Amino acid sequence: MEHVQQLLNQYGLVLNDFAPNNEMLALMPSTLRSSISFANVTINREEVVLIDTAAELNEDHLIQLIQLLKNVPLPIIFLADSFSIDTQILLTKNQFGFISQMGFYLPSLKPVKITKPTMQLISLSKNQQIIILALIYWKLLHDDDSNTFHIKVRQLADYLNITAMTISRALRTFVDAGWLSTSGYTRNHSFAIPAGYDLNSWMNDILRLLPSPVQKTLYIPVNELDNITNRKLANLTALSKFTLIAPTTLVSWAIPSNQLTDDLKKVDIPEFNARLAPKNNVAIEIWKYDSQVFNRLIPKNYQLAVDPVSLFLSLRNSHTKEVTEQLNKLLENLVNQH
């Protein structure tokens, strides 16, 4: 039943009841029984017979099944991962509905109008912000077009070097806040984009709730860079690498907060002085987390700088129209890789 509901969720269809119909199955030829199952279900408050067809059911047997059922006076819907164009035409000619990963046809049912749930603003820890950004990257760059995330907690833990327990707790927080939906709270349950959202609308609403990763900015002599090994290009310096924004004379770098040392604090100079001699100084942004944590999730061409979504968060409050436009372009280019 769970995989049926997940498939229906993609189209805003609500499954209320599910009862196996072994009586109808018993009437089928033995050559078909092992590849199909019947169930009496209620979808969007309408009672129908659902026929779940396995991948082993070949085209000839499916046509045979359609011929056997075309005079049955009950609303029937076929379910499968995919149907050929010829099969879809045959089903529609006989007024049978079908639902698959590629689309659906329901002669009498109409999707229930789903109102997008309200996402709550929550105070995010460093790891929680990393986890939600990783889910965005996974869905954009590695997953399919469904709302379900096809990644296990332990797999995500391996990518991020964060414990599975910490990730499970974060997912539960996201579910409680309306950021995700799930079939349960344990590691073995799937989680998904909530009903009412597609990928783009979900991502945009999530980004509105996420804070900038930048905690503060220092200005130091350029020769002090040699003492900082864990750094990435940041701010407009980074944006200029991916868009039409011109780089600033004063180069900006980002380092995670755990790299901020007393020695760096001692060489910090006023911003005004740094901008008077931009070739002799650099800006160092102190970040809440290390952007390198996403290196296994994003393309290599993005890895010379901080990750693009975090860069968007760090610059989105800029009042320059050109910067805002190019930030949107940065995200559009990332989405287009999906």
Q: Kindly give the residue spans of alpha helices, DSSP state H, lying in 22-120.
A: 22-26, 30-33, 59-69, 85-93
* pLDDT score, position 114: 57
Each residue of 18-41: b (16+ CB within 10 Å) or e?
A: eeeeeebeeebeeebeebbbbbbb
- Structural domains of the chain sorted by starting position, each given as residue range(s) with its CATH number in brackets: 2-105 (no CATH), 126-209 (1.10.10.10), 214-336 (no CATH)
Q: What residues of the chain score a pLDDT lower than 70?
A: 1-3, 10, 55, 108-116, 183-189, 338
Which pLDDT belongs to residue 127?
97
pLDDT at residue 1, rounded to an integer? 58
Does the predicted model carry a pTM greater than 0.85? no
Spell out the residues 6+ positions from residue 103 whose beta carbon is closer than 8 angstroms to its own.
none
Identify whether the C-beta of residue 59 lies closer than 8 Å to the C-beta of residue 84: yes
pLDDT tens-digit series, residues 235-267:
999 999 999 999 899 999 999 999 999 999 999
Residue 114 backbone zone (phi > 0: left; psi -120 to 50: alpha; other: beta) = beta
